[in-house]
Each structure stands twice: as C-alpha cells, then as structure tokens.
Amino acid sequence: MIFLKSLIFILFNLFLGFSLIFTIKLFLFIPKKEKKIFHKKVPFTPAFVHRKKKWLIDKLHSALAKYIADAKNKNIDSRVSKWETKIYKSTHKKLEKIARIPFLPSSLKTKIREIIATFIYQIAKYFFRNFVPYLMSRYHLIKYIELLDFKLDVEVIEDYFNRYIYRFLLVISLTFSFLVGIGNMIVFLILN
C-alpha cells in the first residue's frame, strides 16, 4: 500500500511537467481572438503570437505613414530633418582634415569644407525626401505590408512550434519530471 502511495509522486510530477509546457503553448497560441466577460476584455487575449502579429503589422503601417508625413514636413523638428542635420554635422566633422592642409588659405579651407558638407546635405535631403517616397509609391510598399499580413499565418507558426519545439520541450519536461518523481518516491519509501 505504501508503494502505491509513492506512485502518486511520479504522477503528480508528470502532471506538473505537462501542465508547465501546455501553459506555454496556451499562452502563445490559445485563444485566437479577443475574449470578453461582462463587456470587459480578458487579459492575455488574444494569445501572444496573435497579438504580436497584429502589433507588427500596425507598427509597419504607422512607421510608413510617419515617414511619409515626415518627408513632406519641412520643419526642423521632423525626423527626416534631424537625420539630414546629423548627416551635415558628421560630414562637417569628418572634413576637419581639410584644415590641416598646408599652403592653403584658411578662408578657402572653410569654403571647401562648407561646400562639400552642403553638397552631401543636399544629396541626403533629396534621397530622404524624394527618392525614398518615390520608391515606396513605385513598388507599392503598402501592398507588400498587406501581403505580409496575409502570408504571416499564425497557423503555420503554430504548426512549426508543435513540430519542432513543443514535442521536444514536452519530452524533456516529462523526463525531468519523471526523474524528480522517482527521487521523491525513493525519499518517501526510505522515510516510511
């Protein structure tokens, strides 16, 4: 009878090992849609992978819209203007070597430095404000984001998770739980 009681340790530890791995799967993939109880959202719904897919697509849409708005905005505080200013300053700083050229008047050195830095600034300005938005419209980047939303199927991710991760985690967890259960059973039998 004591031996049968000691088998409960193995079963309990196997249950804990299985429930741990199943909880991970539950957190990642189940439920697929948002659940509500009494018109209040249940936490952790939809599941983590579904939420992150929606977050990624929304982030891509908002980043694209923000970039297009910043490219049209000529103010100094826009992101594109800050990038252009940073390029100008870094180019200006890297051209400090011109000041070390001997036998060249300092006024000419500063003019050369300013002309090159302004030239690079204008190239960056054209690139960020005209060329990149042209490429976005030319290649219909929004269409590709929608295609990514369609192709990034959570069912495929779940299938790969079940095939390559879940099985191995379950085997490892159940093996470890079984060994811990045997250890607990031996300690129980020794003490009784």
The string of DSSP letters for 121-161 reads: HHHHHHIIIIIHHHHHHHTTHHHHHHHHHHH--HHHHHHHI
Q: Which two tokens stand for residue 147?
A: 């295609």
In total, the chain counts a number of residues equal to 192
pLDDT at residue number 91: 92
pLDDT at residue number 69: 87
Which positions ≥6 away from 78 have C-beta within 8 Å? 70
Q: What is the mean pLDDT of residues 114-135?
A: 92
Phi-psi region of 38 (alpha: psi -120 to 50; beta: other; left: phi over 0): left
Residue 21 clears pLDDT 90, i.e. is over it: yes
pLDDT at residue number 98: 82
Residue 44 clears pLDDT 80, i.e. is over it: no
Q: Would you place residue 20 in the very low, low, confident or very high pLDDT band (cuts 50, 70, 90)?
A: very high
Where do the domains of the chain lie?
A: 2-191
pLDDT at residue number 87: 93
pLDDT in tens, 71-86: 888 887 888 888 999 9
Element (H, E) at 166: none
What's the mean per-residue pLDDT of the chain?
Answer: 88
pLDDT in tens, 77-122: 888 888 999 999 999 898 888 878 888 788 888 888 899 999 999 9
Q: Would you place residue 12 in the very low, low, confident or very high pLDDT band (cuts 50, 70, 90)?
A: very high
